[in-house]
Chain A
Amino acid sequence: MFELDRSKYPPNKDGKADYDIDSHKYLKLWHGPQHPGVTGNMSLELTVSGDEIIDLKTHVGYLHRGFEKLMERRKYINCFPIVCRICVPEPDTNEYLYSAAVEELSGIEIPEKAKWIRTLNLEMSRLGSFLMWLGGQAGMFGMGSVGQWCIAHRDYILDLFEEMSGARIYHMYMVPGGVRGDLPEGFGGRLEAVLQKCEKVIKDSEIVMLYNVVLQARLKGLGVITPEMVDQFGIVGPIARGSGIKRDVRKDSPYLIYDQLDFQIETEDGCDGWARLKVRFKEMKQSISLIRQIMEKMPKTGELKAKMPNPLHWKIPAGETFVRAESTRGEYGYYMVSDGSEYPRKITVRGPSYTHAMSLLEYMSVGLNLADIGGLMGTLHTYPPEIER
Chain B
Amino acid sequence: MKTKQEAIQTVGNVFGITAQHDQRADLSFITLENDKVVPALVHLRDVEKYVHLVMITAVDYIEDGNFQITYLLHNYINKTDIGVRTLINRDEPIMQSAHELWRQIATYQRELHEMFGITFPGSPRMEENFALEGWEGPPPMRKDFDTLQYSMKTYSNRSGRKTHDPKRYMKEQLKQDINKVYTDDKSTGDKNV
Q: Do A and B come from one complex?
A: yes
Residues of A whose CB lies within 8 Å of any CB of B are 59-61, 64, 66, 68-70, 72-73, 104, 231-234, 236, 247, 252-253, 319-322, 324, 331, 333, 335, 337, 345-346, 348, 350, 354-355, 358-360, 363, 387-388
Check: B148 CB closer than 8 A to any chain A CB.
Answer: yes
- Give me the 10 closest cross-chain CB pairs, A-B, nearest first: A61-B131, A348-B57, A355-B104, A388-B131, A350-B55, A346-B59, A231-B51, A359-B104, A358-B107, A64-B131
Contact A73 B147 (CB under 8 A): yes
Across-interface contacts of A60 in B (CB, < 8 A):
130-131
Given the interface contacts A70-B147, A320-B21, A335-B70, does A348 sit within 8 Å of B104 by beta carbon? no
Task: Give the distance in Å from the alpha carbon of A226 to the alpha carbon of B82 in the complex.
Answer: 26
Not counting A232-B103, A234-B102, A350-B55, a sample of 8 additional A-B residue pairs whose C-beta atoms are within 8 angstroms of each other reads: A73-B147, A104-B24, A231-B51, A252-B76, A322-B72, A335-B70, A346-B57, A354-B104
Task: Give the distance in Å from the alpha carbon of A183 to the alpha carbon of B69 in the complex.
Answer: 43
Task: Give the distance in Å from the alpha carbon of A335 to the alpha carbon of B57 in the complex.
Answer: 9
Cross-chain contact of A232 among B59, B102, B133 (Cβ < 8 A): B102
Contact B26 A234 (CB under 8 A): no
Task: Give the distance in Å from the alpha carbon of A358 to the alpha carbon of B131 in the complex.
Answer: 12
23 contacts between A and B (CB under 8 A): A61-B132, A61-B133, A66-B147, A69-B140, A104-B24, A231-B51, A247-B76, A253-B79, A322-B27, A322-B54, A322-B83, A331-B54, A333-B55, A335-B55, A335-B72, A345-B59, A346-B59, A348-B55, A354-B104, A354-B107, A355-B104, A358-B104, A387-B131
Across-interface contacts of A69 in B (CB, < 8 A):
140-141, 147
Check: B23 CB closer than 8 A to any chain A CB.
Answer: yes
Check: B48 CB closer than 8 A to any chain A CB.
Answer: no
For B26, the closest partner residue in chain A by CB is: A253
Closest CB of chain B to A242's CB: distance in Å? 17
Task: Give the distance in Å from the alpha carbon of A333 to the alpha carbon of B70 in the complex.
Answer: 14
Across-interface contacts of B57 in A (CB, < 8 A):
335, 346, 348
Contact A233 B59 (CB under 8 A): no
Closest CB of chain A to B81's CB: distance in Å? 6
Contact B104 A321 (CB under 8 A): no
- Binary contact readout B112-133 vs A (1 if CB under 8 angstroms, 0 otherwise): 0000000000000000011111
For A358, the closest partner residue in chain B by CB is: B107
Across-interface contacts of A64 in B (CB, < 8 A):
131-132
For A363, the closest partner residue in chain B by CB is: B103
Closest CB of chain A to B41's CB: distance in Å? 13
Contact B27 A321 (CB under 8 A): yes
Cross-chain contact of A359 among B70, B103, B131 (Cβ < 8 A): B103
Contact B141 A355 (CB under 8 A): no
Closest CB of chain B to A346's CB: distance in Å? 4
Task: Give the distance in Å from the alpha carbon of A69 to the alpha carbon of B139 in the complex.
Answer: 11
Residue among B27, B102, B104 with the most chain A CB within 10 A? B104
Closest CB of chain B to A288's CB: distance in Å? 27
Contact B140 A66 (CB under 8 A): yes
Across-interface contacts of B104 in A (CB, < 8 A):
233-234, 354-355, 358-360
